[in-house]
Amino acid sequence: MKLHEYQAKETMRRYGIRTPRGEVACTADEAGEIATRLGCRVAVKAQVHVGGRGKAGGIAIAATPAEARVAASRILGMSIKGLTVTRVLVEEAVKAAREYYAGMTVDRARRSIVVMASNEGGVDIEEVAAWSPEKIVQVWVSPREGLEPWQARSLALAAGFDRRAVSGAGTYLASLFRLFVREDASLAEINPLMLSEDGAVIAADAKITIDDNAIMRHPEYRALSDEDSDDELEREAHRRGLTYVKLDGDIGVIGNGAGLVMATLDAISSQGGRAANFLDIGGGARADVVRNALELILMDSRVKAILINVFGGITRCDEVASGLLTAAESVGVRVPMVVRLAGTREEEGRALLRKTSVVAAEGMADAARQAVALASGGVK
């Protein structure tokens, strides 16, 4: 799960990393009060999980508390890339002499943590990586070894940091590494890491993503995880314990196994249709799980047809089919439903479906073709 900037900064401060002084506000009045307390020029920053919020107008500089209030009332409630801003961070505006990048993430191929520094801070690091990779200096460090400040100082020097910033940057990179390991992060980034005009090193923006698999040992993050998605259907799926991703089409998709569901979305697309979602019910396809999934799909008013693609592995297809029918009946499905079963006893499974209003498809391509036709109002 991604932390918001203000949450990431709180976490970094616990590890001794200096950030601008600031607080989070949910109303314009609160923003004004925070600016008064800070008693300096402030930045008012939208707290949303998307990049490019500055370009979208989600960041403003305010010289007075009154200006901060105006800026907050403009930013709160605005929509950035489809996400509504409900909180702003109000913090002291720091004048930068230099802006650097410092960050680390999981390197899958090397099975290690890659630590990165660059003197091209403040911009999207992926763009730097794409256009001038030589400007990013990297080292690979295992959690067992750990990163010491002296190693991090060498990295900062190699990246071309100003001498005045090297000591602070080294300390902060080492702290950030400790944070990464102890908090089970999968990404921790300071961009920009600022050298201020008066020579201080400050984390001006902060990004932390926590490994979803590790949240079990960090209960403090569990409380935040419900806010992770701004989409009501995704939040509902989360509450129901379903692996669901909202997409922009009109065919509701349910399948067992992530790879199989992805392949189903591809099959729909190659038939000229668009899936409304990704929904993986995992192995088995038990009737209660299918019912739960169907209920969720039917909450989506965009859905014009449903495609269920199940591989009956250990569970036989005839058992899966009767489970599906029980679930569909209890939910009361209002749109056409195409079911495709494969695996052991698939003929028997299909025979059970044929006696009902469900469309029993012969294969994945056939299922996709029929679902696309039904969603666009065609006949089966």
Q: Active-site residue numbers?
A: 101, 189
Angle at 148 between CA 143 and CA 149, to 5 degrees: 140
Dist CA 240 CA 139 (whole Å): 41
- Residue with smaller CB distance to another protein, 208 or 267: 267
Smallest gap from residue 168 Cβ to another protein (A): 26
List contacts with another protein (CB under 8 A).
Answer: 106, 108-109, 111-113, 126, 130, 142-144, 181, 184, 186, 211-214, 216-217, 243, 245, 247, 255-263, 265-270, 275, 278, 280, 283, 311, 313-314, 342-344, 363-365
Smallest gap from residue 23 Cβ to another protein (A): 29
- Residue with smaller CB distance to another protein, 241 or 332: 241
Dist CA 169 CA 367 (whole Å): 56
The C-alpha R_g of the chain, in whole angstroms, comes to 25
Q: Are 50 and 222 in contact (CB under 8 A)?
A: no
Angle at 143 between CA 141 and CA 149, to 5 degrees: 60
Smallest gap from residue 261 Cβ to another protein (A): 6
* Secondary structure E strands in the chain: 22-25, 42-46, 59-62, 79-80, 83-84, 88-92, 96-107, 112-118, 136-141, 185-196, 201-203, 206-210, 243-246, 251-255, 277-280, 305-312, 337-343, 359-360
Smallest gap from residue 286 Cβ to another protein (A): 14
Smallest gap from residue 110 Cβ to another protein (A): 10
Omega of the bond leading into 65 within 30 degrees of 0 (cis) = no
